[in-house]
Amino acid sequence: MRKIVLPLSLITLALLAGCGSQPPAPEQDGAGVESRSPSAVTTPGVTPVIAGQPSGTDLAALKDPKSPLSKRSIYFDLDSYIVKDEYQSLLGHHAQFLGKNGQMKMLIQGNADERGSREYNLALGQKRAEAVKKALMLLGVKEAQLESVSLGEEKPACIESTESCWAQNRRGDMLYSGEF
């Protein structure tokens, strides 16, 4: 059986507030995340807005399976750190989101399959993360919003020694503020 474990549970999105270097987000922003439609909130109250913070709608899109923004992984060929053309449209959606939400930051984690040198795989993961970062910058994203790191072969999403599993691990993951 193939088991894919997402690097961070989507539940973590609900814990958006206070993580990373972001200022604590208001609780209300979590509403959409708890999969209540924002429009259903009828309790009278004040929803504080911090300029530049993504709206609940935008955040919901990040985890809505129907939104391309919910897709966060770029897969690579063996030994390669070239972003394949098939990911251009996905990267375009993320570039657009980051452009619209200037306060949002993205951490790109590069990964490698388990075979070969751990240190080389750490470097390969870094190159993969860098390649995703560069592709997003070419699409207009500001460098300040992006950070690339490598996990090498240390945090495999799939732990079997099969080609399909290794292919899942040759991967760059895009995580948004609050998810890392």
Partner 1 sequence: MKKLISCLASGILLASIATASLAQLSIEITGAGTQRLPIAIADFAGERVISQALTSVIRSDLERSGRFQLVDPGAAPMNESTAPNFIDWKSRGADALAAGSLTGTPDGRYETRFRLYDTQKQAAIAGQALTHTSNQLRTTAHRIADTIYEKLTGERGIFSTRIAYVVKSAGRYELQIADADGNGAQSALASREPIISPAWSPDGGKLAYVSFEAKKPIIYVHDLATGRRHVAANFKGSNSAPAWSPDGRKLAVVLTKDGGSQLYLVNVDGSGVTRLASSSGIDTEPQFSPDGEFIYFTSDRGGSPQIYRQPVAGGAAQRVTFDGSYNVTPRLSPDGKTLAFVTRDGGRFRVAVMDLATRQVQVLTDTAKDESPSFAPNGRMILFATEVGGRGVLAAVSVDGRVKQRLSVQAADVREPAWGPFSK
Residues that bind partner 1 (CB under 8 A): 79, 115-120, 122-124, 126-127, 130, 148-150, 152, 154-155, 161
Shorter beta-carbon distance to partner 1: residue 29 or 113 = 113
Q: Alpha carbon 21 to chain centroid distance?
A: 16
Burial class (CB in 10 A: 0-12, 13-18, 19+), 99: middle
Beta bridge partners of 85: none
Least Å distance, CB 44 to partner 1, is: 41
CA-to-CA distance for 32 and 29, rounded, in angstroms? 7
Nearer to partner 1, 15 or 90 (CB): 15
What are 152's strand-pairing partners?
Answer: 111
- Between residues 98 and 129, which has the closer beta carbon with respect to partner 1? 129
- Least distance from C-beta 56 to partner 1, angstroms? 28
- Distance of closest approach, residue 84 Cβ to partner 1, in angstroms: 18
In the bound complex, what is the minimum distance in angstroms from residue 124's beta carbon to partner 1?
7
CB 149 within 8 A of CB 123: no
